[in-house]
Chain A
């Protein structure tokens, strides 16, 4: 089988249609499987955490692949998968306007209250 696989670094969200296959992008073979993001809930954990991504033809296969790739050392008790194309990511180029305005607003941290000693650590 000939599969073209595009690899992404951890945390990267692929752009445009490279993640999925409604219309295969010109540089992606029609044989390539869409990319899925995998979320695992560990035994103690309450929330599902992003653990990585993998390729699969559909959701069923994505769950099975996730079971084999990400839970072989008992890492989890529950798996979520979502096709990567359904994730909308913030643009790194806009990091300045998105996050920097919060930098000089330290009063947003509740660190200016005098706490009675009896309260201890909060």
Chain B
């Protein structure tokens, strides 16, 4: 049971933190239409994470709610993968992060929808349409910028430098995934194929022999997560129980 809770929280946390990162663009997007696009994606991810927090809360009992799980846990209790907590950087870095994550999430949820746990399976099945759009949207941006101008190409190379080292973690299972979840290691080849085909179209190289950072899934995060939670949780920490 505790593995199921941890696994559900892991899935929820990755979505929540990426939703929060994308929401930072609200009002700052490069153009009005894309500002709406990135915040739409943020809300999709937030909706998915809410479903999972609600499920985890019923499993946990003891007065846990989706709000206590999102707002009152500390950094070391969050189980999101490291990729999603990385800073937005420029637009190229944001769309690359979305592309790397959404491509993984799509493969993961395709398996998750067959999971023996009906609740998780249903949440995954519902999310897949949204994810398909996230993959499409972010792929097109990666291609557009990678195969764009000299400057946009340079910026995508920089984005790959910043983010690639956090992709390996997604395919290394944590304890709670081993006993319960989707076999993430088995997703790696297909993920690499999909990423490679988009990178080829975008004239971007796949990095080789990069040391992969790990730890997010077990609560050992980069320095960025603390700042994200400080902002995300401020209201509930300063005014406990506040509602609106």
Residues 1-37 of A, flagged 1 when their CB comes within 8 A of B and 0 if not, give 1010100000000000000000000000000010000
Inter-chain CA distance A55–B144, complex, in Å, is: 16
Range for the number of chain A residues in contact with chain B: 10 to 19
A108 at the B interface (CB under 8 A): no
Residue of B nearest to A62 (CB): B33
Residue of A nearest to B33 (CB): A65
A117 at the B interface (CB under 8 A): no
Contact check: which of B40, B137, B140 meets A72 at CB < 8 Å? B40
Query: A60–B31 contact, CB under 8 A?
Result: no
Residue of A nearest to B43 (CB): A72
B72 at the A interface (CB under 8 A): no
Residues 109-153 of B, flagged 1 when their CB comes within 8 A of A and 0 if not, give 000000000000000000000000100110010001000000000
What are the residues of chain B within 8 A of A68 when measuring CB–CB? 33, 36-37, 40
Inter-chain CA distance A80–B30, complex, in Å, is: 24
Residue of B nearest to A56 (CB): B33
Does more than half of chain B's interface fall in helix, strand or loop, or is it mixed?
helix
Inter-chain CA distance A64–B140, complex, in Å, is: 10
Query: A69–B91 contact, CB under 8 A?
Result: no
What are the residues of chain B within 8 A of A54 when measuring CB–CB? 32-33
Residue of A nearest to B36 (CB): A68
Inter-chain CA distance A10–B137, complex, in Å, is: 27
Query: A65–B144 contact, CB under 8 A?
Result: no
Query: B91–A64 contact, CB under 8 A?
Result: no
Known: A1-B30, A3-B30, A3-B31. A60 touches B140 (CB 8 A): yes
Query: B140–A5 contact, CB under 8 A?
Result: no
B178 at the A interface (CB under 8 A): no
Contact check: which of A5, A55, A57, A64 meets B37 at CB < 8 Å? A64
A61 at the B interface (CB under 8 A): yes
Inter-chain CA distance A69–B40, complex, in Å, is: 10
Residue of B nearest to A64 (CB): B137
Inter-chain CA distance A67–B129, complex, in Å, is: 14
10 contacts between A and B (CB under 8 A): A5-B31, A55-B32, A56-B33, A57-B144, A61-B140, A61-B144, A64-B37, A68-B33, A69-B36, A72-B40
**Could you list which residues of chain A lie within 8 angstroms of chain B, going by C-beta atoms?**
1, 3, 5, 33, 54-57, 60-61, 64-65, 67-69, 72
